[in-house]
């Protein structure tokens, strides 16, 4: 049996992140604000080819 999230083409980590976000959003206001801060981050990533850094792209919440 293949799980629904896998059939939809999500990776396990992505599936977990989506689930976590849903849980955070469904909390009551006060704990929600605290919890949502944990889910936020600002990353940038860049791939390297032949010793050169390529263009860097922002990587936000999944």
Partner 1 sequence: MFSRAARPVVQRAAAVSARPAPSNNYATLREIEGRLKSIRNIEKITKTMKIVASTKMNQAQRNMVQARVYGATNNKVYEEAETKPEEKGKTLFIVSSSDKGLCGGVHSSLSKAVRAKLETNPEADLCILGEKCKAQLGRSHPKNVVMSFSGVGKDVPSFAMAQSIAHEIMSLEKQYENVEVVYNHFNSPVAYEASAIDAFSEESIKASANFAAFEVDDEQLPDLREFALANSIYWGLAEGYACEIAARRNAMDNASKNAGEMINKFQILFNRTRQAVITGELVEIITGAAASAE
Of residues 28 through 57, those in contact with partner 1 by CB under 8 A are 38-48, 50-53, 56
Q: Contact with partner 1 (CB under 8 A): which of 11, 23, 27, 31?
A: 11
CB 42 within 8 A of CB 58: yes
Q: What are the C-alpha distances in Å from 5 to residues 1, 26, 41? A: 12, 20, 24
- CA separation for the pair 37, 5 (Å, rounded): 25
Of residues 29 and 42, the one with the C-beta less far from partner 1: 42
- Asked if 25 touches partner 1 (CB under 8 A), the answer is no
Query: What are the tokens at 34?
Result: 């605290």
- Chain residues binding partner 1 by CB under 8 A are 2, 11-14, 16-17, 20, 38-48, 50-53, 56, 59, 61-62
């Amino acid at each position: 049996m293949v799980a629904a999230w896998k059939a939809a083409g999500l990776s396990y980590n992505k599936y977990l992140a989506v689930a976590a976000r849903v849980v955070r959003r469904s909390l009551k206001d006060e704990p929600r604000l605290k919890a949502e801060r944990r889910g936020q981050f600002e990353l940038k990533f860049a791939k390297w080819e032949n010793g050169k850094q390529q263009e860097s792209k922002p990587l936000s919440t999944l």
